Amino acid sequence: MNPGQTPLVLRVQGVGKEYRLYASPRERFKALFSSRARHRSHWALRDVSFELRRGQCIGVVGDNGAGKSSLLKLLAGTMQPTTGTVERVGRVTAILELGAGFHPDFSGRDNLYFGGSLIGIDREEMARLEPEIVAFSELGEALDRPVKTYSSGMTVRLAFALVTAVQPDVLIIDEALAVGDQHFQKKCVERIMAFRDAGCTILFCSHSSYHIRHLCDQAIWLNGGRIAEMGPTEAVMGAYELHSRLRAGEGAADHSPAAALEGTQPAAGAPVSAGQEAAGHGANLLSVTISGLGEGTPPLLEGSDLVVTFIARGRGDECPNLGFMIEQSKGTGITSLATHEEGARPVRLPDGTWQAVLTFPQLPLHSGEYVVSAYLFDESGLVLYDAWLHYQHFRFVSPTLMPGLVRLPHTWT
């Protein structure tokens, strides 16, 4: 190790993972007594190598079937590689299938001790950690009921509180940054951020390019089970998103920039809540209004300015953050903005709601059809409370006669 270099916590060398696929259970049984191969091989990973050092936060991206979940399970130790080696230093904690190891007939409290033993927490240490875990999960008297009586939200709350009770050296997070309702989401994010600030190495797998960019300093792009690119986050994400757009153009799954934040693609125009609580509670978008829309389908933007007014409900006295994206109607992203990225702050109205007005003077777009999406974040900008994807389509007629997509700031000399 070079002087001043942070300690190595994870080394992956030449890792490959083969799955043997059989035509039927009968063929699988026959293979136990036969020297002849009765399977076909599927290699989920091939020749994957990289190192992680203390304090790094690295994102893993790739299409469905690229090998992301297999890689995370190998790193967590729940699955063994077919080829290559995985070397771990210190405690590795994985937030994968939360609650999958709980016994349904045991109480929540019994499952703490049972589950704790599986991740290296002995009975004596669990007795010391139990009050903090119980407080974090907020299950109260339900802790002494059988887990089979829990809702799915209660199960993941208990599981998250358990697996993060002790700060790991490496934290592996698959897909979901947080679980449960808005209140518990914030607690989860705050705990994960505290781990990162304390030097924990985090490996984060997600379809949300927004969270990859905001949390990770490095990224790995898996393609067909191999590392297509690894390096600084923005360079890797740029290459991966170009690949996604090309695939979408060939008729593959839609990779709309608006949906990338959530990692899901709802029906166009449908408000979608990320962890939104029951109506009348929690934070949510109330209205997103574009001024000056006229007649037609989609309506014509009359005038040269684009003015968007957001009204939202926050959580208690917390000042939420608002985000905006505009795309061509066919899904090519043009720009995305957020109050927390630009030092802006919504204004609190007398009724307790929050308002922000976003103005694009002399809208620098060429003629065409466009669609906007709106987002509501917590004060940190990491918890997505609400998302209205592809909420409003409109037409715009540019005063310029030149072709193109946008009019960039420029000078002639």
Would you state the structure tokens that stand for residue 397, as one six-digit string?
A: 């007629």
Give all strands of the β-sheet with 333-338 in edge-to-edge order. 271-273, 384-396, 368-377, 321-328, 333-338
Confidence of residue 261 (pLDDT cuts 50, 70, 90): low
Handedness of CA 34, 35, 38, 42 (dihedral sign): positive
pLDDT digits (tens, 9 = 90+) for 131-165: 999 999 889 889 999 999 998 788 888 888 888 88
Q: What's the pLDDT at 13?
A: 95
Mean pLDDT of 289-299: 90
Contacts of residue 169, defined as CB under 8 A and 6 or more positions apart, other chains included, come to 9, 54, 89, 90, 91, 92, 200, 201
Encode 48-77: b = buried (16+ Cβ within 10 Å), e = exposed.
Answer: beeebebbbbbbbbbbeebbbbbbbbbbbe
For every residue of 311-328, DSSP letters joined together read EEE-STT---EEEEEEEE
208, with CB counted inside 10 A (0-12, 13-18, 19+), is buried
pLDDT digits (tens, 9 = 90+) for 170-208: 888 886 555 667 888 888 888 888 888 888 999 988 888
Q: What is the mean pLDDT of the chain?
A: 84
Instruction: Tell whether the model's pLDDT for residue 312 goes beyond 60.
Output: yes
Mean pLDDT of 307-312: 96
- Determine what percent of the chain is predicted with pLDDT higher than 70: 88
Phi, psi angle pair for 38, to nearest 5°:
-115, 15
Instruction: Tell whether the model's pLDDT for residue 291 goes beyond 80.
Output: yes
- Closest by Cα among 370, 325, 328, 93 to 209: 325
Q: What's the pLDDT at 83?
A: 94
Instruction: Tell whether the model's pLDDT for residue 323 goes beyond 90.
Output: yes
pLDDT digits (tens, 9 = 90+) for 206-232: 888 888 888 899 999 999 999 999 999
Encode 269-295: b = buried (16+ Cβ within 10 Å), e = exposed.
Answer: eeebbbbbeeeeebbbbeebebeebee
Q: What is the dihedral of CA 113, 118, 123, 126, to 10 degrees?
A: -70
Alpha helices (runs of H) in 33-141, residue ranges in sequence order: 68-76, 108-118, 123-137
This prediction's pTM: 0.76
State the DSSP code for 301: B
Contacts of residue 72, defined as CB under 8 A and 6 or more positions apart, other chains included, come to 60, 94, 96, 172, 174, 203, 205
Domain annotation for the chain: domains and CATH numbers? 8-244 (3.40.50.300), 271-396 (2.70.50.60)
